[in-house]
């Protein structure tokens, strides 16, 4: 099914880990997604090293603290997007994997559901304590939350096990986006949902796209692999999901990462 497209909710960006060049602390921010046992080498250490080489503990701790503190204004701006998107999670979504869980900023939108179980996947182990605190604050018992260190190219769960996968601002920074999308499809149950919000490349030929192309190498360097020119919406729509509800908007307050896509893909 071809994705539906709409221009609405002119507000702000989306996701957890902003990687824009003009924002203070941007050079410290940006992770990538999850890992596991489904693809690539079976050794978790080898998988991590291949897709997200080990960072020093001090860097990971600093990154987690900065992310927690500096994303507050962003989260306030994007609240309307997230509220609308996560309201689509049905009562049947009991097993959820959040890709690039970070400090757990999304939990307040969905984690209070009864009998829900959440797996948070992130390459930064220092995020765990922040994600746990956010889970408790959102009403999710720690017995129903698991943090797993990993990357999106190899998710740490079995085939057809998840009712939903959530990813907000993470596909911009995975090493292999096609592999990550295959992993998302692999772990979803038939009919399972992938909820996403991502910043994307501006239109070809536009001044913004030109600026994104020029600054993309620097962005990747200072923002832990974040790409400014990925056509993530197109890649999601071509990934083989049974249906994709794809919405587009431009968040003018965010300049370089203003163009966004958000929506739901169904396996």
Query: Which pair of structure tokens corresponds to residue 105?
Result: 């900023």
pLDDT at residue 51 in the model: 74
Give the β-pairing of 145-149 and 117-122: parallel
Give domain limits for the chain.
26-266
Query: Which pair of structure tokens corresponds to residue 245?
Result: 């509800």
Per the CB < 8 A criterion, the answer to whether 135 and 187 are in contact is no
Listing from the earlier edge strand, what are the strands of the sheet with 243-250?
145-149, 117-122, 95-99, 162-168, 188-199, 259-266, 243-250
pLDDT at residue 1 in the model: 43
User: Could you tell me the mean pLDDT of each successive run of 10 residues in the chain, 267 residues long?
Assistant: 38 38 34 40 68 76 78 78 90 92 94 91 93 95 94 93 95 92 97 94 89 84 78 95 93 78 95
Reduce the secondary structure of 164-191 to three states and give it as a string: EEEEECCCCCCCCHHHHHHHHHHHEEEE
Domain at 26-266, CATH class: alpha beta
pLDDT at residue 114 in the model: 81
pLDDT at residue 44 in the model: 65
pLDDT at residue 253 in the model: 66
Reduce the secondary structure of 191-249 to three states and give it as a string: EEEEEEEEECCCCCCCHHHHHHHHHHHHHHHHCCCCCCCCCHHHHHHCCCCCEEEEEEE
């Amino acid at each position: 099914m071809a994705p539906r497209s709409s221009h609405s909710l002119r507000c702000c960006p989306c996701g957890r880990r902003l990687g824009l060049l003009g924002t203070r602390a941007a050079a410290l921010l940006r992770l990538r997604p999850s890992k596991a046992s489904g693809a690539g080498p079976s050794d978790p250490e080898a998988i991590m090293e291949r897709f997200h080489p080990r960072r020093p503990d001090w860097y990971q701790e600093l990154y987690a603290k900065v992310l927690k503190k500096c994303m507050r204004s962003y989260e306030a701006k994007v609240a309307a997007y997230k509220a609308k998107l996560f309201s689509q999670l049905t009562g049947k979504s009991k097993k959820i994997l959040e890709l690039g869980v970070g400090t757990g900023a999304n939990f307040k939108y969905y984690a209070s559901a009864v009998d829900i179980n959440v797996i948070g996947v992130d390459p930064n182990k220092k995020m765990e304590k922040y994600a746990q605190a956010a889970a408790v604050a959102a009403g999710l018992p720690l017995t129903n939350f698991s943090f797993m260190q990993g990357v999106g190219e190899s998710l740490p769960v079995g085939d057809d096990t998840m009712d939903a996968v959530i990813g907000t601002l993470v596909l911009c920074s995975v090493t292999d986006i096609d592999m990550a999308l295959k992993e998302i499809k692999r772990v979803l149950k038939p009919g399972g949902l992938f909820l996403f919000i991502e910043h994307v490349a501006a239109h070809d030929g536009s001044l913004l796209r030109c600026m994104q192309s020029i600054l993309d190498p620097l962005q990747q360097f200072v923002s832990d692999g974040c790409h400014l020119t990925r056509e993530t919406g197109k890649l999601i729509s071509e990934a083989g999901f049974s249906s994709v509800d794809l919405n587009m908007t431009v968040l003018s307050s965010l300049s370089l990462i203003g163009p966004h896509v958000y929506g739901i893909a169904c396996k």
